[in-house]
């Protein structure tokens, strides 16, 4: 399944294997999404419920989106026709994997962490897929399309919209810095960048933002 392949891709990039398969937590019935969040779910929503020390998690993805991805698998060919759906699925998988990984290390994560890391994941995973499918070409347009051409859903409450814009701005700075290094996979700079990506994945919100402020 596409979701499992996307999870495996992120796990390999960041060296964060996870015992939990995202497909086991998938729901496609929009009735699972709280009524207040349905208008802005946009095909994807990570659902989290807490009861003391216990946490229940589910990932909602629109059934038609999954059908489109099954018919046009981005792992085989990522193009303009399936890019938006791929990013929606990637965002959900990123949220699930990040939350589950850090919960496994007894660390809570903030909404800002989830959204910043998801934007970085979309850039990095898309770059990995495009380079594997067309090794001779570096997709220089990717940064502009992801960070300049996409818009925050106008249906979101103002505080949520502000958070998404802030997360995107930080992720854009981080990804711009890595762009030049990622153009040459055989170079030591590329290996250093992968090491930095893996360190970044494990940072808290404060340390992530401080790292971007300092280095990007």
List the chain domain ranges: 2-215
Q: Which among 159, 188, 190, 193 is positioned nearest to 174, based on CA atoms?
A: 193
pLDDT in tens, 95-146: 999 999 998 888 889 999 999 999 999 999 999 999 999 988 889 999 999 9
Q: Which string of DSSP letters, residue by residue, matches 93-156?
A: HHHHHHHHHHHTTT----HHHHHHHHHHHHHHHHHHHHHHH-TT---TTHHHHHHTS----TTS
pLDDT in tens, 56-66: 899 999 999 99
Q: State the angle between helix axes of 83-103 and 63-71 in degrees (0 to 180), rounded to the nearest 10.
A: 110
Q: Which among 66, 100, 134 is positioned nearest to 126, based on CA atoms?
A: 134
């Amino acid at each position: 399944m596409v979701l499992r392949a996307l999870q495996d891709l992120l796990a390999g990039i960041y060296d964060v294997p996870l015992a939990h398969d995202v497909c086991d937590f998938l729901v496609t019935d929009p009735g699972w999404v709280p009524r207040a969040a349905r208008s802005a779910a946009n095909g994807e929503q990570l659902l989290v419920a807490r009861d003391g020390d216990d946490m229940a998690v589910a990932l909602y993805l629109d059934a038609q989106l999954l059908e489109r991805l099954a018919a046009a698998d981005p792992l085989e060919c990522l193009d303009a026709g399936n890019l938006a759906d791929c990013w929606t699925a990637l965002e959900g998988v990123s949220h699930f994997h990040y939350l589950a990984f850090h919960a496994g290390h007894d660390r809570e994560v903030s909404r800002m962490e989830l959204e910043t890391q998801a934007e970085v994941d979309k850039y990095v995973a898309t770059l990995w897929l495009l380079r594997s499918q067309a090794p001779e070409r570096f997709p220089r347009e990717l940064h502009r399309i992801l960070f300049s051409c996409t818009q925050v859903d106008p249906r979101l409450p103002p505080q949520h919209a502000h958070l998404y814009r802030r997360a995107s701005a930080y992720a854009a700075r981080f990804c711009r810095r890595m762009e030049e290094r990622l153009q040459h996979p055989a170079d030591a700079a590329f290996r250093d960048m992968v090491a930095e990506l893996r360190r970044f994945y494990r940072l808290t919100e404060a340390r992530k933002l401080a790292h971007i402020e300092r280095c990007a």
